[in-house]
Structure 1
Amino acid sequence: MNIELIERLIKLAERSGLTELEYSEDNSRVRFNFHPIEGAAAHCSAIQGPQVEPMTSPEAPSSLQQGHAVKSSLSGTFYRGSAPEEPPFVTVGDRVEEGQTLAIIEAMKMLNPIESPLSGRVLEILIDDGSMVESGLPLFIIAEEG
C-alpha cells in the first residue's frame, strides 16, 4: 500500500470534516473512523473554527543562545494545556524536570505529549496555543539547570 497516499487522504479527510475514510489497493483495505477519542473532544471542537496555517519558519529567538530548543517531534495542533479550560502545563519562568510534559500535539486525533529533554527553566514559549506546527519546529527554549 502507498503509505504517503494514505497519509494525504487522512489529512484531506480531516480538513473536509469526513467521519469515515476507506481505501483499498490490490488485496489490502484500510478503513478509518474519525471520531474524537475520550478526553480529546474539547480540543477537537476548539479547532473547528478558522484553519491556521502551519508555522514553519519562526524567527530565531534571542534566547536560543542561552538555552536548549525543544522541537516538535511531529506535525499537528499545539496545545499548552490538557483542555481549553485547564491551565497550561508550563509557563515562562517555570522550573521543569526531565520528562515533564510541556505541551501536547494533536495529530490524527491522538494526543501526543511533548516532554522536556532536560531539567531547567522555561525561558520562552515560541508557539501560540492552538497553532498548527510542523515536525522539527522549535516550541520551547529551556535553560539547563543542574
Structure 2
Amino acid sequence: MDLKEIQNLIKFVAKSGASEVKLEMEDVKITIKTGETKGEMTTVVQQIPMAGIPQQAAPVPVAQPAAPAASDAPAASNDDSKYVTIKSPIIGTFYRKPSPDKPSFVEVGDSISEGSVLCVIEAMKLFNEIESEISGKIVKVLVDDSSPVEFDQPLFLVDPS
C-alpha cells in the first residue's frame, strides 16, 4: 500500500463520519481514528512482521479449584436471564442525555413504557432516539455515556414484570 492510497483512505474515513477504522493486510496494519474535537486526530501505524525473531509462549498458570467463583457465576447469569436486554439497532456513539446540560433519559430503577426514549445514538452526525419496545423497569445501564457502540450491542437490562 503506497502513500497515495493511505491518504485516500484517510480522506474517505473522515468523510464517512466513522470514529475508528482498522485495516490489516499481510505486511501492513493501519488504524485511523477521528476525534470528536474540532480538529481531526489521525493515527497511521504500519508494521512489518519480522520472521527472524522467535515468539515466546506465555507461561500457562496452573488452574486452582474455584468452587465458590464457579457457583457465583451461574447464579448471576440466572438472575440476568429473567431480564430483557435492549440492544443497539445501529453503530454509533451512545448518549444517555439529550444534551450535556439536560438530565439522562432514564436511570436505574426508572419505570419505562413502550415507546419511551431510552438514549440517543449518534451516527454520521445524526442523533437517533432509541425507544423501548417493552414496558418495565431499568435494572442496569450496560454502556458508559459518550461511548462507541456496535450493532446489536446490549445497552440496557429491563425487568419486564
TM over 0.5: yes
- Normalised by the size of structure 2, how large is the TM-score? 0.55
Change (3 A) 1:9 1:72: farther
Deviation digits for residues 30-75 of structure 1, max 9, x if unmatched? Answer: xxxxxxxxxxxxxxxx932898xxxxxxxxx855312100000000
Change (3 A) 1:115 1:128: same
Q: Which runs of 5+ in 2 are unaligned?
A: 1-9, 20-34, 42-75
Specify which of 135, 138, 153 is matched with residue 119 of structure 1.
Answer: 135
Match of 1:128 in 2: 144
| RMSD of aligned Cα (Å) | 2.8
Higher RCO (C-alpha under 8 Å, 6+ residues apart): 1
**Segments ≥4 residues shifted beyond 6 Å:** none
- Contact (CA 8 Å) 2:96, 2:106: kept in 1 or not? yes
- Contact (CA 8 Å) 1:47, 1:130: kept in 2 or not? no
Change (3 A) 1:110 1:138: same
Between structures 1 and 2, the one with greater strand share: 1
Query: Offset of 1:141 from its aligned partner?
Result: 0.5
Distance (whole Å) between structure 1 residues aligned to residue 115 and residue 160 of structure 2: 13
Query: Offset of 1:15 from its aligned partner?
Result: 5.8
Between structure 1 and structure 2, the one with the greater Rg is 2
Distance (whole Å) between structure 2 residues aligned to residue 10 and residue 73 of structure 1: 24
Task: Report 1:34-49 matches (<5 A).
Answer: 47-48=36-37
Match of 2:14 in 1: 12
Identity level (%)? 39
Q: Quick check: 1:109 aligned with 2:111?
A: no
Q: Which runs of 5+ in 1 are unaligned?
A: 1-7, 17-45, 52-60
